[in-house]
Amino acid sequence: MIKIAVAKGDGIGPEIMRAVLHIFNEAKVPLEYEMVEMGKWVFDKGFNNGMTPAAKETIEDLGILFKGPMETPKGKGVKSVNVTARKTWNTYANKRVFQTLHGVDTVFSKAGIPIDITIVRENIEDTYGGIEHMLTHDVALSRRFITRPGSLQVIKYAFEMARKKAAKRITCGHKANIMKITDGLFLDIFYEVAKDYPDLKADDVIVDDLCMKLVTRPDIFDVVVLTNLQGDIVSDLCAGLIGGLGFAPSANIGDHICIFEAVHGTAPDIAGQNKANPTALLLSGISMLRHLGLMKVAAMIENALLFTLESGIHTGDFGNKEIPALGTKEFAEAIIHNFHQQPKQGAKPNLEDQPPTQTKFKLERNPMLESIEKENEVIVGVDLFIESNEQPDAIAMKCLKNAGMKFTLVNISNRGTQVWPTGSVYTNLVNQYNVRFESIDHEPLNQQDIIGLYISLSANFKICSSELLNRWGDKNAYSMAQGQ
């Protein structure tokens, strides 16, 4: 028996979890369940991360969490328990499979266009760090982190997974045409990894073009890997292609802990009424069984589900309205009744069980992810973000007076658009500027030089934030302003 942690969730969570575990028990799945306390009701008890210390300890001990949908209280300044769990345990890859389900009518199923798309979303970084500040009363800042080691983890996982599923194509979705450093880094790593997988066709597409193509020709895509925020949006878009989030499983994969969950809402309006659709949670559980090497029972349960859907059996949120809808419990019983049945379309192969994936680890220290620095880092300047409602020329005069002997004022920008030394009077301004100083003749600087400039400029301006301008070799590691 394999022991896993189970969190029932909020709203409809407990009843769909009961339905799925009932299906597992009837299928004699060799799992033992340790119930843990997580969710809105745990927030309400005063635990600001949405889980009890005992729950955290249990999950870290067992390595597998199977969870229902969870709600984060609104307006209380607390972080999402779902995001906290994924980030705390470094489940760096969110895998979501979107397949045509016969019996779930969509525009594409009616047109005879099959969908089989796997989205792999980076799960830790990007704007989901939630690191935000008000720089002035008018200007908010969110920091976006894209790291080389973090990108490498998720992209390697995507390629390995694509190879195992015999995918023909893997695509990187990105916005590197605008975010040339952050998305550019993610895209560069994608092609670095692609060199080790010559059997896979690797290409890339700008994310807005990707969205357009997904809603017109979804059948041309196979595996798509994206950064966190873009992956979140595209994942829900793909869910819409197959009938909604009620049919979209989710697996969060890490090196030590994995989370399998339903990502739809908690639907409190129908909670406790035996109306909820357990399909997404069941599909997530089936993904968990395969992760644990339980291939035979996973295929048997999934084929029973597919046969059930194909037969027109449905809950109230989908299906032929001329056929009476079943409740949550009755839908689960119908799947159990159809054990060992084979759907006419999309049947899953009955593969041999595999050795169980290791789920229990004992770590003594936090893993440090760091790549080798191939060239020496040199500081060549600084961006100082200042608060001011003055015009660019007036700001420039004050900056030039305080630049000192080692710096030259290169440009001033406002919301990323250059307004000095050249610009346009038609550019609207806000009360926060970026003044960029570089070293004279690109001579190397040290942090004491930067601090000296900071102190000098602080006599004239409130400095809201600052960023070093670094260079590795002959490559500048910072972006240019629009119009620079």
pLDDT score for 114: 94
Determine the average pLDDT of the residues in 344-367.
Answer: 85
> For the residues 296-308, what does the mean pLDDT come to?
97
How confident is the model over 37-65, as pLDDT tens digits?
A: 999 888 888 888 889 999 999 999 999 99
Crossing angle between the packed helical segments 295-310 and 279-291, to the nearest 10 degrees: 160
**CB-count burial class (<10 Å; 0-12, 13-18, 19+) for 20:** buried
Q: Are strands 140-142 and 132-134 parallel, antiparallel or unpaired?
A: antiparallel
| Predicted local distance difference test score (pLDDT) of residue 75 | 59
462-472/475-476 β-pairing: antiparallel
Q: What is the pLDDT of residue 229?
A: 97
Question: For the chain, percent helix, then strand, then coil, each to nearest 5?
Answer: 35, 25, 40
Single pTM value for the model: 0.93
pLDDT of the residue at 364: 87
What is the rounded distance in angstroms from the CA atom of residue 277 to the CA atom of residue 332?
Answer: 9
Question: What span, in angstroms and rounded, lies between the C-alpha atoms of 286 and 277?
Answer: 16
The pLDDT tens digits of the residues spanning 184-228 come to 999 999 999 999 999 999 999 999 999 999 999 999 999 999 999
Beta bridge partners, 130, equal: none
Retrieve residue 311's tokens.
Answer: 């037969």
Alpha carbon distance 283, 97 (integer Å): 9
What are the residue boundaries of the structural domains of the chain, listed by start? 1-91+259-371, 105-242, 377-476
Q: Residue range 312-329: average pLDDT?
A: 94
**Both tokens assigned to 457:** 């400029």
Q: Which pLDDT value is given to residue 76?
A: 58
CB neighbour list of residue 177: distance below 8 Å, 6 or more residues apart:
206
Strand partners, 7: 67
Of 337, 324, 271, residue with least CA distance to 22: 337
How much is the pLDDT for 404? 86
Evaluate whether 1-91+259-371 and 105-242 have a shared fold. yes
Find residue 51's DSSP bridge partners.
38
Contact 170, 222 (CB under 8 A): yes
Distance CA 159, CA 149 (A): 15
pLDDT reported for residue 77:
63
Treating both helix axes as pointing N-terminal to C-terminal, what angle do 182-194 and 148-164 enclose, rounded to 10 degrees? Answer: 40
pLDDT of residue 79: 74
Which amino acid appears at position 174 of this protein?
H
Q: How confident is the model at residue 355 (pLDDT cuts 50, 70, 90)?
A: confident
The pairs formed by 191-197 with CB atoms below 8 angstroms and a separation of 24 or more are 193/152, 193/155, 193/156, 193/159, 194/159, 194/170, 196/159, 197/159, 197/162, 197/163, 197/170
Least confident of 102-106, 258-262, 472-476: 472-476
The one-character DSSP state at 170 is E
pLDDT value at residue 130: 86
Return d(Cα 259, Cα 42) in angstroms, integer.
Answer: 19
**Overall average pLDDT of the 239-248 stretch:** 95
What burial class does residue 266 get, using C-beta atoms within 10 Å of its C-beta: 0-12 exposed, 13-18 middle, 19+ buried?
buried
| CB 434, CB 414: distance < 8 Å | yes
- Given a contact cutoff of 8 angstroms between Cβ atoms, the answer to whether 151 and 186 are in contact is yes
Q: At 241, which helix (H) or strand (E)?
A: helix 228-242
CATH code of domain 105-242: 3.40.718.10
Q: Which fold has domain 377-476?
A: Alpha-Beta Plaits (3.30.70)
* Statement: residue 363 has pLDDT above 90: no
Lowest mean pLDDT among 2-6, 467-471, 479-483: 479-483
DSSP bridge partners of 169: 201
Q: How far is CA 338 from CA 23, 297, 318, in A?
A: 11, 13, 20
How large is the angle between the packed helices 228-242 and 207-214, nearest 10 degrees? 10
pLDDT range class, residue 357, cuts 50, 70, 90: confident
Distance CA 163, CA 417 (A): 43
**What CATH code would you report for 1-91+259-371?**
3.40.718.10
Nearest-angstrom CA–CA distance, 98 and 94: 13
**Residue percentage of the chain with pLDDT more than 70:** 99
Q: How confident is the model at residue 129 (pLDDT cuts 50, 70, 90)?
A: confident
**How does the average pLDDT of the chain come out, rounded?**
94
Half-sphere exposure of 350 (CA within 13 A, CB side): 8
